[in-house]
Amino acid sequence: MIVVLKEGAKDEDVEKVRKKIEELGYEPHVLRGMFRTVINCIGDERGKSDNKILEAMEPVDKVLMVLEPYRLASKTTNPEGTKVPIGKGVVVGGEKVVVIAGPCSVENESQIIDVAQKVKEAGAHALRGGAFKPRTAPYSFQGLGKKGLEMLAEAGRKTGLPIVTEVMSPEDVKTVAEYADVLQVGARNVQNFPLLKKLGKTNKPILLKRGMMTTIEEFLLAAEYILAEGNPNVILCERGIRTFETATRNTLDISAIPVLKKKSHLPVIVDPSHATGYWEYVPPMCYAAIAAGADGLIVEVHTNPEEALSDGTQSLKPEKFKNMMENLSKFVKAVGRKL
């Protein structure tokens, strides 16, 4: 950590800040420049409560951080990369690219079983489906809740696919964990800290979606909340950030993939359905994500998007999903991985 003082800082100011730095547990080294005095603080600044507090001191202009603020999520913790097993023989972060597919919402038993069978035939490795749905408007379909979980579990049993579903509230963690193989945290909940803490106390794999307003640093700090409670099985999911562009629902931040891979050991998957909002843009974004180094994909598939209770416009029909999977294999090969 480096503390830059304001122009014209006096000896007593420097001394005051120096002392405070010592109190915080660092070893201060004062250096007077031509225009400014800076104080280098030797010590581990990660995992400290709010070093920025020094900026509240009158003589301080700004505090510059040398290290990233996360520790357990950092690449240095596990340079070889973490593998997260999510079901029989399905591992996210290994040599194989993992594809999770299914409808936005579970609507009824025959729908979810039908989709499950079709995505399995096309080569998907896991089934997604929402039972608890976060919706912008209170009048939109809110999901089938526990009934939806049961249907999803049934579809999982019938196909052998591990199931991935969202949990929205700390109160529901226990229930959802009974049915799901992977618990998903939605974009709007990426900084729902009570939820993250609760999930950190389970032993289930967590699929953590980046919020549409979340920086990469904040995203890794959200993962840190889960890791810090003892659950090492976190899968990061880039799903588009909010920008000024409105031609797509969000802007898929594809460069986040190599950035996350450089900064963290956690596996990274991509959700091109929510990112773009239109099914026709989904296949090219799937190919791009794998080309950029993603470990997997989560894709919305619906047998009848026009009747879907949510997100129909961004869902692929099963035949289009199948076609995408066939093309995908070429890109998977190009990156030297397997599907």
67/147 with CB nearer a copy of itself: 67
Q: Minimum distance between the CB of residue 242 and a copy of itself, rounded to whole angstroms?
A: 5
| Residue 261 vs residues 1, 12, 217, 266: alpha-carbon distances, Å | 24, 45, 13, 7
CB of 155 to a copy of itself, least distance (A): 22
Nearest residue (CB) to a copy of itself, 108 versus 215: 215
Q: Tell me how far, at minimum, the Cβ of 86 lies from a copy of itself, in Å.
A: 24
**Which is nearer to a copy of itself, 151 or 185 (by Cβ)?**
185
For the chain, the distance separating the N- and C-terminal CA atoms, rounded to the nearest angstrom, is 44
Angle among Cα 8, 12, 17 to the nearest 5 degrees reads 90
Residue whose CB is less far from a copy of itself, 153 or 195: 195
Q: How far is the CB of 107 from a copy of itself (least distance, A)?
A: 12
Picking from 168, 148, 155, 74, the residue whose alpha carbon sits closest to that of residue 114 is 155
Smallest distance, a copy of itself to C-beta of residue 40, A: 5
Token readout for 133 is 């749905």
Of the candidates 326, 332, 235, 323, the one whose C-alpha atom is nearest the C-alpha of residue 279 is 323
Give the residue with the Cβ less far from a copy of itself, 15 or 280: 280
Least Cβ distance, residue 173 to a copy of itself (angstroms): 11
Nearest distance, CB of residue 87 and a copy of itself, angstroms: 28
Whichever of 211 and 296 has its CB closer to a copy of itself, that residue is: 211
Q: Which residues contact 337 (CB under 8 A, 6 or more apart)?
A: 95, 96, 97, 290
**For the stretch 126-149, what's the b/e string if a residue is b when 16 or more beta carbons lie within 10 angstroms of its beta carbon?**
bbbbbbbbeeeeeeeebbbeeebb
CB nearer a copy of itself, residue 78 or residue 248? 248
Residues 6+ positions from 54 with CB-CB distance below 8 Å: 3, 17, 20, 21, 24, 60, 63
